[in-house]
C-alpha cells in the first residue's frame, strides 16, 4: 500500500492555542482508552516557566487542526525530557517521528559546545498502550528503561490521624522563610531516585511563582530536637483532585513512619477541603520502595507510563 502523504507544518504554540491543544489532548486520551481529563488550567500550569517560542512545538494540518504537540523540560543537558503526543490517523507515526526529530534538534541547537560536557540523555514518557508512538521511538533508536505509575486513592471516609515519629512537628511552608528547608527537604531525598540529575533551590521554588500557588498545601516536618527539616510533602489541587506532587524523607528519619504520617496529613487536609480523589506518580521500581508505601496508604495503579531513552 502506498504511503499516504498529508501536508502539515511545525510551529511554536501561543497562549491563544491553549483551548485547541487541550481539545487535541483530550481526543488523544480518549483514543488510547483513558478518561479525558486535560484542562486549560492544567496546561497553563504545565507551561509555567516554559518559553513557548523555543521549547514547545505544534504539528498543524493545512486546515489549522492541531494533530501533535511536544515540549521540553531541560535538566541542565544531563537529561532532557520531551513530552509529546499525536492524534491517531494515517500519519500518526510519521508526525510523531517528526516531533522526535524536533526534540533531538532542540538539544543540538541549545546545548553548549563544550567537549567536557557528557552526552545528553533524551527521555520520553508515553502511555504503555500508545503502541504507535512507541514504535516510532524504537525506530529512532530509543530503548525502554523504566515504567512509572500514576496511582489514585479514593477518600471514602475521614482519614485516620497521622502518628508522628517522636519530636517531629509538621508545618505549612512559609514563603521566604522556609525556602532553604524546602530545598534541603526535597533535594536530598530525591538524590536516591533512579537516574535523577541534581536540581537547584530555584528549580524547587519555581511553582511558588504561579498565580494559583497555595503554600498551605506544602508540608514540612521539622525535628524539634535539632531544628532540621526531615523531608517534604508538596501537594496541590487540580481539576477537582488532590495531587501529591512530591513526597520525600531524608535518610536519618526513614523507617520511622514519617512517609505514611505525611500522606495521612495530606489526606486530612484534602478531606477538609472536600477533595475525595488523590493522585500521585511514582517510579515502579523506586529504590526506596515508594509504591509499597502508597499501596499501604490506599493508592492503586490507575495508569502506566513507559520511559524510553536515547543518548545523543
CB 248 within 8 A of CB 258: no
CB 220 within 8 A of CB 234: no
- Closest by CA position to 218, among listed 252, 249, 262, 256: 262
4 pLDDT higher than 50: no
Q: What is the pLDDT of residues 41-98, one digit of tens each?
A: 999 999 998 999 999 999 999 999 999 999 999 998 999 999 999 999 888 999 999 9
Domain boundaries, the chain: 9-141, 152-303
Q: What is the DSSP letter of 16?
A: G
Q: What is the pLDDT of residues 268-295, one digit of tens each?
A: 999 999 999 999 999 999 998 999 999 9
CB 172 within 8 A of CB 218: yes
> Cα angle vertex 190, ends 226, 137, to 5°?
175
- Closest by CA position to 297, among listed 195, 182, 193, 154: 154
Query: What is the CATH code of the structural domain delimited by 152-303?
Result: 3.40.630.30
State what percent of residues in the chain have pLDDT above 70: 98
Q: What is the pLDDT of residues 158-185, one digit of tens each?
A: 999 999 999 999 999 999 999 999 999 9
Q: Are strands 218-223 and 300-311 parallel, antiparallel or unpaired?
A: unpaired
CA dist 251 and 257 (Å) reads: 12
| The CATH classification of domain 9-141, taken from the options 3.40.50.970, 3.20.20.80, 3.40.630.30, 3.30.420.10 | 3.40.630.30
Asked if the domains at 9-141 and 152-303 fall in one CATH topology, the answer is yes
Q: What is the pLDDT of residues 132-158, one digit of tens each?
A: 999 999 999 999 999 999 999 999 999
- Closest by CA position to 70, among listed 16, 120, 140, 123: 123
Mean pLDDT of 242-255: 97
Amino acid at each position: 500500500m502506498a504511503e499516504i502523504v498529508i501536508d502539515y507544518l511545525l510551529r511554536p504554540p501561543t497562549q491563544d492555542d491553549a483551548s485547541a491543544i487541550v481539545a487535541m489532548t483530550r481526543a488523544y486520551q480518549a483514543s488510547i482508552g483513558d478518561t479525558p481529563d486535560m484542562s486549560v488550567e492544567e496546561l497553563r500550569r504545565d507551561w509555567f516557566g516554559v518559553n513557548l517560542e523555543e521549547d514547545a512545538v505544534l504539528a498543524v494540518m493545512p486546515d489549522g487542526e492541531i494533530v501533535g504537540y511536544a515540549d521540553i523540560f531541560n535538566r541542565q543537558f544531563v537529561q532532557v525530557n520531551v513530552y509529546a503526543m499525536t492524534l491517531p490517523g494515517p500519519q500518526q507515526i510519521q508526525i510523531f517521528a517528526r516531533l522526535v526529530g524536533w526534540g533531538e534538534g532542540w538539544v543540538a541547537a541549545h546545548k553548549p559546545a563544550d567537549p567536557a560536557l557528557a552526552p545528553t540523555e533524551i527521555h520520553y514518557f508515553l502511555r504503555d498502550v500508545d503502541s504507535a508512538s512507541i514504535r516510532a521511538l524504537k525506530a529512532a533508536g530509543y530503548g525502554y528503561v523504566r515504567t512509572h505509575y500514576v496511582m489514585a486513592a479514593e477518600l471514602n471516609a475521614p482519614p485516620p490521624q497521622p502518628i508522628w515519629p517522636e519530636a517531629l512537628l509538621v508545618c505549612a511552608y512559609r514563603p521566604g522563610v522556609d525556602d532553604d528547608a524546602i530545598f534541603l527537604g526535597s533535594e536530598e531525598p530525591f538524590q536516591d531516585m533512579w537516574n535523577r540529575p541534581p536540581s537547584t533551590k530555584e528549580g524547587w521554588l519555581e511553582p511558588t511563582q504561579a498565580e494559583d500557588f497555595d503554600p498551605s498545601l506544602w508540608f514540612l516536618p521539622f525535628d524539634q530536637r535539632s531544628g532540621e527539616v526531615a523531608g517534604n510533602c508538596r501537594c496541590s489541587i487540580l481539576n477537582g483532585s488532590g495531587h501529591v506532587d512530591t513526597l520525600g524523607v531524608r535518610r536519618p528519619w526513614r523507617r520511622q513512619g514519617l512517609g505514611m504520617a505525611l500522606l495521612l496529613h495530606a489526606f486530612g487536609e484534602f478531606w477538609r477541603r472536600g477533595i475525595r480523589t488523590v493522585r500521585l506518580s511514582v517510579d515502579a521500581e523506586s529504590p526506596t520502595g515508594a509504591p509499597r508505601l502508597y499501596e499501604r496508604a490506599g493508592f492503586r495503579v490507575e495508569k502506566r507510563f513507559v520511559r524510553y531513552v536515547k543518548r545523543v
